[in-house]
Amino acid sequence: MTTTPPTTFGARLRSAMDERGPLCVGIDPHAGLLAEWGLADDVEGLRRFALTAVEAVAPHVAAVKPQSAFYERFGSRGVAVLEEVVAAARAAGTLVVIDAKRGDIGSTSQAYAEAYLDPASPLGSDAVTVSPFLGFGSLDPFVETARRHGGGLFVLALTSNKEGPEVQHARLDDGSTVAGRVLDHLRRLNAGAEPLGSFGAVVGATIGETDEDLAFNGPVLAPGYGAQGGTTADVRRIFGATAANVLASSSRDVLRRGPDAAAMRDAVRAATDELAALRR
* 160-200 pLDDT tens trace: 899 999 999 999 999 999 999 999 999 999 999 999 999 99
Residue 162 annotated among the catalytic residues of the structure = no
| Residue 149: predicted pLDDT | 97
Q: Average model confidence (pLDDT) for the chain?
A: 94
Q: What is the pLDDT of residues 84-106, one digit of tens each?
A: 999 999 999 999 999 999 999 99
Instruction: Decide if 157 contacts 202 (C-beta within 8 A).
Output: yes
Residue 97, Cα to own-chain centre: how many angstroms? 5
Going by C-alpha positions, the residue among 189, 81, 52 that lies closest to residue 130 is: 189
- CA atoms of 31 and 273, how far apart (whole Å): 30
Helix, strand, or coil (residue 26): strand
pLDDT at 197: 98
pLDDT at site 167: 95
pLDDT digits (tens, 9 = 90+) for 117-141: 999 999 999 999 999 999 999 999 9
Residues 95-105 as b/e (b if ≥16 CB within 10 A, e otherwise) read bbbbbbbbbbe
DSSP 171: B
Q: What percent of the chain has pLDDT over 90?
A: 86
pTM (predicted TM-score): 0.95
Cα atoms found within 13 Å of the Cα of residue 207, Cβ hemisphere only: 26
Q: Which of 30, 48, 90, 101 is catalytic?
A: 101
Q: Which of 126, 139, 58, 67 is nearest to 94 (CA)?
A: 58
Confidence of residue 227 (pLDDT cuts 50, 70, 90): low
Give me the sign of the Cα torsion angle 161, 162, 164, 168: positive
Q: Residue 166: how many CB atoms within 10 A of its CB? A: 9
Confidence of residue 280 (pLDDT cuts 50, 70, 90): low
Residue by residue, DSSP assigns 230-264 as B-HHHHHHHHGGGGGGEEEEESHHHHTTTT-HHHH
Alpha helix ranges (H) inside 23-75: 31-36, 43-57, 69-72
